[in-house]
Amino acid sequence: MPEANSPEHVDVVVLGGGNAGVAVAAQLRRRGVHRIAIVEPSTTHTYRPLLSYVGGGEASLPTAQRSQASVTPRGCRWVRSSVETVTPAEDPDGDHMVACADGTRLACRDLVVATGLVPDDDALPGIAEALTHPTVVSNYLDAATRTWAGIRGLGERGGHAVFTLPRPPVSCSATTLKPLFMALDHWDGAGSGVWATVLVDRPTLIGVDELDRTILDALRDRGVRVRTNSTVVGVDADARRLRVRTADGVEDAVDYDLLHLVPPYRAGGYIERAGLAGGHAGLVDVDPETFAHKRFPRVWSLGDCADLGTDPSGGALRKQAPVCAHNIVASRRGTDLRRYDGYTVAPVTVSRHRAVLGEFDRTRRMTSSLPSFLSPLKPRLLTWAFDRYALPQIYWRLILRALA
């Protein structure tokens, strides 16, 4: 047992017990790394891509969740706490130090940062307060069941629905549009007088020309107004009004009857305080191909909080976790590191039961895992069923166990 106030020495500390953290820990275990600690405060692990279907009335919240204990890889220690401070070692032979809110102190040889993103309250003040209002919902802020309630309520009374797509970083940008398309089908079926606007805080939707055209055509066919280069800078939930700034600095007000808010995000503050961040939204400054930190040896990062130059997604993590784990082990052995090409996937439902898979790489070039004779941009029932039913099972049964 370590002495009082002395750190516990482990081989690897993984900060974050979400998709990225659990997947990379499982991959490390399969490669023979034994003493691994995962720092994660939540007792519930959520498969977040399924929250879009919860918000669209196509799934229940319990189907998207498991206990954190049940998904923690066998042989890993789960530290149920949040990160307070990180002190990375500049000496290649030194230990990284992690201090947790519950008083736990950890020293490790390799440190993996996978804590995802947090709402950027400086960029948009009052996010938490806005979510307490019944007309403000968000699949991204643990309010997916309220999203479906809000969609049904607006369908009964009619009015203006506003959906926001913030500037990067945001996990799986296209997912912000899933509840909108499912809502449009519900509102059409209800015969309600609902009209919708999407406020996009960037010049394009995703930044992949072919995919953007497909999504924009689907939105325009449904009569949805799309405003690009529109930054939400204020929310007055009581007045049901947004303050929006255009790229040239002009501000105007947008009134709504239902707001699906995806706020601007950034990485956790401890990353900047530790000197691990680069210049953009506090993301961890790593080599985007190897996941190795550009300054500190034996510090690694993957997932939403890493500056990888690609659109983060759960599908991207399926590629990232094996590469990151391989590289941690390879760096110890002095063997070649593997490279991640920036692959990501953005499944978009363009109707309640039709979806486009939307696969692309770091250069924003479309790729496809479909047979060559199938168009990757054609909305399909099979793609929707794969995203809604098959992928969650692959996640729980294979990805989190390093079997895929």
Q: How many CA atoms, within 13 angstroms, populate the side-chain half-sphere of residue 362?
A: 11
Q: What architecture is domain 122-265? A: 3-Layer(bba) Sandwich (3.50)
Task: Return the percentage of the chain with pLDDT > 70, whole number.
Answer: 99
Q: How confident is the model at residue 346 (pLDDT cuts 50, 70, 90)?
A: confident
Q: What is the mean pLDDT of residues 14-20?
A: 98
Q: What is the mean pLDDT of residues 180-184?
A: 94
Is 47's pLDDT higher than 50? yes
Q: Are both 8-116+268-342 and 122-265 of the same fold?
A: yes
Q: What is the mean pLDDT of residues 56-74?
A: 96
pLDDT per position as a tens digit, 103-147: 999 999 999 999 999 999 999 999 999 999 999 999 998 889 999
At 403, is the secondary structure helix, strand, or coil?
coil
Q: How many CA atoms, within 13 angstroms, populate the side-chain half-sphere of residue 156?
A: 6
Nearest-angstrom CA–CA distance, 183 and 189: 10
Report the candidate in 168, 158, 169, 171 with the shortest Cα–Cα distance to residue 52: 171
Return the pLDDT at 371: 78
Is 159's pLDDT higher than 60? yes
Nearest-angstrom CA–CA distance, 219 and 346: 16
Token duo for residue 269: 């503050």
Return the pLDDT at 173: 87
Q: How confident is the model at residue 181 (pLDDT cuts 50, 70, 90)?
A: very high
Q: Tell me the CA distances in angstroms from 294 to 193, 254, 290, 305, one per residue in order.
A: 53, 42, 10, 15
Residue extents of the structural domains in the chain: 8-116+268-342, 122-265
Q: How confident is the model at residue 89 (pLDDT cuts 50, 70, 90)?
A: very high
Q: What's the topology of domain 8-116+268-342?
A: FAD/NAD(P)-binding domain (3.50.50)
Residue 104 burial (10 A CB sphere; 0-12, 13-18, 19+) = middle
Return the pLDDT at 174: 83
Report the candidate in 66, 57, 113, 55 with the shortest Cα–Cα distance to residue 262: 55
Return the pLDDT at 1: 46
Task: Return the percentage of the chain with pLDDT > 90, whole number.
Answer: 89
CB contact at 8 A, 225 and 196: yes
